[in-house]
């Protein structure tokens, strides 16, 4: 319950910050009319302001906006006469698909590399896995994305360089997913490796080995299960944090997701309802996942009691 | 890499410093972050002396010599180590120019982040209660904000300027400090010597200065060294999407973005600044890991 409360406080706080920021910006009315108010009388100008609610004090505007949000209405775009929910709804699918693709890649690569590196510690495998992880940590997503395009799309011509066709086609998903998932896989690999090394050193693994359980079962069943507790949480949080990364990937690959939309339509067109809606959705996704991560952590590891370890 | 480093650090010194030269060199390389330090030294050197030692100007080029590949000569017989870009500017000289920007921005953002973050963390951990609650909530809220979008909103509102970007980066930096420093202070606060000081009649200010702050300096240094890499990445990302440094200033992110359109014909325009970012970030990471193992091994969990 306490956890729920803090999540809600975070949503409110974050939206207040963003709302205030957006309203410090230039008057959105200038979107329709040039600064001089050309072709529009003073009265029409004020009427437009009234219609959009700009003439009320900021806290009132915020509460109005919040009230609509609670009813599931994100408002109407200023630049396009469409609902914000409609705009975001049309785009979020692509972003989620991208995030899932990247997540699958990150989890598969991160876990296998982590386990391999831990089990074969000090061998070529270990160094190879850590080398890949280092590249993932140090190379910004926009550079690795471009390198991938250069190698696989331009030189080898195996995969398309970007965009997303309306029909599902796995080839279009590979490069963006890899570019998005790599840094995450690197972090995950380090976590898995560390906790796997800890677990492999423990008594019950030695017991299992001594009993004659075969090596593969020991590693993938006994050890992995216990060493996944910490990485599991970060796997979920990862998903949430990715929306930042997804924006860059979407730009590079021309992917029609919400990050791309937010960047090019809202910011350049001063379309604050869309911007605010996007940020709101991002925050909501982040908090949902970090909340879920806490709950799952508690289920997986019963030793954790949230009340005691709040923060 | 951490476990090995620690193992190496804990092994008695007599094993390493003897033997044939290649072995000794290998031992030194494993035990001390020599390569990262060399790379960072080059970075700092270019940042300070770049404009004086760079072979060509950063912002003007010879149009006849555009898009020359690395290791080639221009028409006037001038040598371009890393090639030239789409308007004939020397990529190597621009990288050196970019070093100054990268370094100064990271340094400023980090100092603001350290001072604000550490202060809030100490206050939050030491005084507890309502203050603690408010500060912790602020950090939670900040973590929930998608920083790239916030950066875009801010550049759009306040215009594209250096000050805006520095603010954004400082805002990214501070929250990490608060959490960890706070946790550290919570531990230190319960130490017997703090109680002893209190019984001896020391004021809060004195306890903070003499007993708490010295205990967190190592931690702060370690977090700083670990977060610089992230800040440099963030700066490059912001410049890349156009919310940071503006062209023609040769920030590395800007260079990558400029080179994007020439990806098919001139890979080095993206490759060289990309590799520069990579080497710097990785060096900082290694150095950070090494410092952490040396100064504050208990922080192992936070990578």
d(CA A245, CA A168): 22
* A294, part of any domain: no
> HEC profile for chain A?
CHHHHHHHHHHHHHHHHHHHHHHCCCCHHHHCCCCCCCCCCHHHHHHHHHHHCCCCCHHHHHHHHHHHHHCCCCCECCCCCCEHHHHHHHHHHHHHHHHHHHHHHHHHHHHHHHHHHHHCCCCHHHHHHHHHHHHHHHCCHHHHHHHHHHHHHHHCCCCCCCCCCCCCCCHHHHHHHHHHHHHHHHHHHHHHHHHHHHHHCCHHHHHHHHHCCCHHHHHHHHHHHHHCHHHHHHHHHHHHHHHHHHHHHHHHHCCCCHHHHHHHHHHHHCCHHHHHHHHHHHHHHHHHHHHHHHHHHHHHCCCCCHHHHCC
* A96, part of any domain: yes
| Under 8 Å between Cβ of A163 and A173 | no
B186 vs A: CB within 8 A: no
Domain co-membership, A97 together with A61: no
pLDDT value of position A174: 80
Which residues on B lie below 8 Å from A286 (Cβ)?
A: 143-144, 146
pLDDT value of position A50: 65
Task: Choose among B156, B267, B279: nearest Cβ to A150.
Answer: B267
By residue range, what is the domain housing residue A225?
Answer: 92-256
* Residue A244 binned pLDDT confidence (cut-offs 50, 70, 90): low
pLDDT beyond 50 at B302? no
> HEC profile for chain B?
CHHHHHHHHHCCHHHCCCCCHHHHHHHHHHHCCHHHHHHHHHHHHHHHHHHHHCCCCCCCCCHHHCCCCCCEECCCCCEECCCECCCCCEHHHHHHHHHHHHHHHHHHHHHHHHHHHHHHHHHHHHHCHHHHHHHHHHHHHHHHCCHHHHHHHHHHHHCCCHHHHHHHHHHHHHHHHHHHHHHHHHHHHCCHHHHHHHHCCCCHHHHHHHHHHHHHHHHHHHHHHHHHHHHHHHHHHHHHHCCCCCCCCCCHHHHHHHHHHHCCCCCHHHHHHHHHHHHHHHHHHHHHHHHHHHHCHHHHHHC
| Domain stop point among A256, A272, A302 | A256
* End-to-end Cα, chain B, rounded Å: 12
Domain co-membership, A63 together with A101: no
Compare all CA atoms of chain A with the CA of B272 and give the residue at the minimum distance.
A143
Tell me the CATH number at A125. Answer: 1.10.3720.10
Which residues on B lie below 8 Å from A311 (Cβ)?
A: 136
pLDDT value of position A310: 40
d(CA B303, CA B300): 7
> Per mean pLDDT, which range of A21-30, B51-60, B84-93, B225-234 is the poorest?
A21-30
* A304, part of any domain: no
Rounded to 5°, angle at Cα B12 from B8 and B16: 70
Within 8 A by CB and 6+ apart from B61, the residues are B84, B85, B87, B88, B89, B90
How many residues are present in chain B?
Answer: 303
Best interface-test mutation with B: which of A131, A244, A254, A310 has the largest number of B CBs within 10 A? A244
Task: Choose among A24, A187, A311: nearest Cβ to B136.
Answer: A311
DSSP lists the bridge partners of residue B79 as B73
Domain co-membership, A26 together with A100: no
d(CA A146, CA B237): 13
pLDDT value of position B16: 52
d(CA B105, CA B173): 12
Residue B120 φ/ψ region, left for φ over 0, alpha for ψ in the -120 to 50 degree band, beta for the rest: alpha
pLDDT in tens, A34-70: 555 455 666 666 666 666 666 667 777 778 777 777 7
| Under 8 Å between Cβ of B173 and B117 | yes
Rounded to 5°, angle at Cα A129 from A127 and A133: 110
Task: Choose among B145, B260, B263: nearest Cβ to A14.
Answer: B145
Is the pLDDT higher at B103 or at B292? B103
pLDDT in tens, B238-283: 888 777 777 777 888 888 888 888 877 788 888 888 888 888 888 8
> Per mean pLDDT, which range of A111-120, A139-148, A298-307 is the poorest?
A298-307
pLDDT value of position B14: 47
How many other C-beta atoms lie within 10 A of the C-beta of residue A130? 18
B7 vs A: CB within 8 A: no
Task: Choose among A134, A143, A149: nearest Cβ to B274.
Answer: A143
Compare all CA atoms of chain B with the CA of A148 and give the residue at the minimum distance.
B263
- Work out how many CB contacts closer than 8 A connect A with B: 138
d(CA A242, CA A7): 19
Domain co-membership, A210 together with A242: yes
Domain co-membership, A156 together with A194: yes
Domain co-membership, A47 together with A150: no
| Under 8 Å between Cβ of A130 and A117 | yes
Best interface-test mutation with A: which of B4, B102, B133, B146 has the largest number of A CBs within 10 A? B146
Domain co-membership, A33 together with A181: no
B240 vs A: CB within 8 A: yes
Domain co-membership, A107 together with A246: yes
* A275, part of any domain: no
d(CA A255, CA B200): 65
Best interface-test mutation with B: which of A25, A99, A140, A285 has the largest number of B CBs within 10 A? A140
Task: Choose among A18, A143, A290: nearest Cβ to B277.
Answer: A143
How many other C-beta atoms lie within 10 A of the C-beta of residue A155? 11
| Under 8 Å between Cβ of B259 and A252 | no
Rounded to 5°, angle at Cα B76 from B70 and B82: 15
Domain co-membership, A46 together with A126: no
Domain co-membership, A53 together with A124: no
Mean pLDDT of chain B: 79
pLDDT in tens, B1-22: 444 455 444 444 445 556 677 7
Mean pLDDT of chain A: 74
Q: Is the dihedral of CA A117, A122, A123, A128 positive or negative?
A: positive
DSSP lists the bridge partners of residue A83 as A76
* A288, part of any domain: no
d(CA B178, CA B126): 12
For range A209-218, the mean pLDDT: 78
* End-to-end Cα, chain A, rounded Å: 14
| Domain stop point among A73, A108, A136 | A73
pLDDT beyond 80 at B27? no
Q: Is the dihedral of CA B249, B255, B260, B263 positive or negative?
A: positive
pLDDT value of position B289: 80
* A101, part of any domain: yes
Within 8 A by CB and 6+ apart from A202, the residues are none
Question: Among residues of chain A, what percentage have pLDDT more than 90?
Answer: 0
For range B197-226, the mean pLDDT: 84
* A13, part of any domain: yes
| Domain stop point among A73, A102, A133 | A73
Compare all CA atoms of chain A with the CA of B238 and give the residue at the minimum distance.
A248
Domain co-membership, A65 together with A206: no
Number of domains in chain A: 2
Which residues on A lie below 8 Å from B240 (Cβ)?
A: 140, 142, 248
The position carrying tokens 């996942």 is A289
* A85, part of any domain: no
Nearest to B269 by CA among B67, B43, B75: B67
Which residues on A lie below 8 Å from B149 (Cβ)?
A: 244, 247, 262, 275, 278-279, 282
Domain co-membership, A153 together with A251: yes
């Amino acid at each position: 319950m306490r956890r729920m409360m803090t999540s809600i406080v975070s949503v409110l706080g974050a939206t207040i910050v963003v709302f205030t920021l957006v309203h410090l910006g230039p008057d959105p009315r200038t979107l329709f009319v040039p600064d001089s108010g050309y072709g529009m009388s003073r009265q029409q100008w004020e009427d437009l302001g009234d219609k959009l609610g700009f003439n009320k004090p900021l806290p009132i505007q915020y509460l109005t906006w919040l009230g609509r949000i609670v009813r599931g209405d994100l408002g109407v775009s200023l630049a396009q006469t469409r609902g914000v929910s409609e705009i975001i709804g049309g785009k979020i699918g692509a972003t989620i698909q991208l995030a899932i693709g990247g997540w699958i890649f990150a989890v598969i690569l991160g876990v296998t590399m982590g386990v391999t590196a831990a089990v074969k510690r000090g061998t070529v495998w270990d160094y190879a896995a850590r080398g890949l992880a280092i590249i993932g940590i140090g190379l910004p997503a926009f550079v690795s994305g471009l390198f991938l395009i250069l190698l696989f799309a331009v030189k080898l011509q195996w995969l398309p360089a970007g965009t997303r066709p309306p029909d599902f086609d796995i080839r279009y998903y590979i490069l963006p997913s890899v570019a998005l998932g790599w840094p995450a896989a690197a972090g995950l690999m380090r976590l898995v490796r560390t906790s796997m090394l800890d677990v492999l050193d423990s008594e019950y693994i030695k017991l299992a080995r001594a009993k004659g359980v075969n090596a593969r079962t020991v590693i993938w069943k006994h050890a992995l299960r216990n060493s996944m507790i910490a990485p599991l949480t970060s796997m979920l949080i990862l998903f949430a944090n990715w929306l930042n990364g997804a924006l860059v990937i979407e730009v590079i690959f021309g992917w029609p997701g919400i990050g791309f939309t937010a960047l090019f339509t809202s910011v350049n067109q001063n379309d604050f309802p869309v911007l605010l809606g996007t940020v709101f959705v991002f925050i909501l996704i982040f908090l949902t996942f970090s909340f879920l991560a806490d709950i799952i952590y508690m289920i997986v590891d019963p030793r954790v009691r949230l009340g005691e370890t709040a923060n | 890499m951490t476990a090995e480093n620690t193992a190496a650090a804990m092994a008695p010194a007599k094993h390493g410093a003897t033997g044939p030269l290649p072995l000794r060199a290998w031992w030194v390389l494993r035990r001390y972050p020599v390569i990262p330090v060399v790379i960072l030294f080059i970075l700092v050197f270019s940042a300070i002396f770049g404009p004086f030692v760079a072979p060509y100007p950063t912002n003007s080029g010879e149009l006849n010599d555009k898009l020359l590949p690395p290791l080639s000569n221009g028409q006037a017989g001038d040598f371009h180590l890393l090639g030239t870009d789409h308007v004939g500017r020397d990529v190597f000289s621009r990288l050196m120019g970019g070093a100054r920007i990268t370094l100064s921005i990271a340094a400023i953002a980090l100092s603001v982040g350290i001072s604000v973050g550490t202060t809030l963390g100490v206050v939050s951990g030491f005084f507890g209660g309502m203050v603690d609650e408010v500060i912790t909530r602020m950090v939670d809220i900040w973590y929930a904000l998608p920083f790239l979008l916030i950066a875009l909103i801010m550049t759009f509102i306040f215009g594209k300027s250096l000050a805006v970007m520095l603010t954004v980066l400082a805002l990214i930096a501070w929250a990490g400090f608060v959490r960890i420093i706070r946790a550290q202070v919570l531990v230190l606060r319960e130490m017997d010597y703090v109680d002893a000081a209190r019984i001896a009649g020391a004021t809060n200010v004195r306890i903070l200065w003499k007993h708490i702050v010295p205990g967190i300096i190592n931690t702060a240094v370690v977090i700083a060294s670990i977060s610089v890499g992230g800040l440099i990445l963030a700066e490059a990302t912001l410049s890349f999407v156009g919310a940071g440094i503006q062209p023609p200033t040769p920030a590395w992110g800007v260079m990558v973005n400029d080179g994007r359109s020439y990806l098919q014909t001139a890979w080095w325009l993206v490759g060289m600044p990309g590799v520069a970012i990579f080497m710097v970030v990785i060096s900082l990471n290694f150095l950070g890991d090494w410092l952490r193992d040396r100064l504050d091994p208990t922080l192992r969990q936070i990578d």
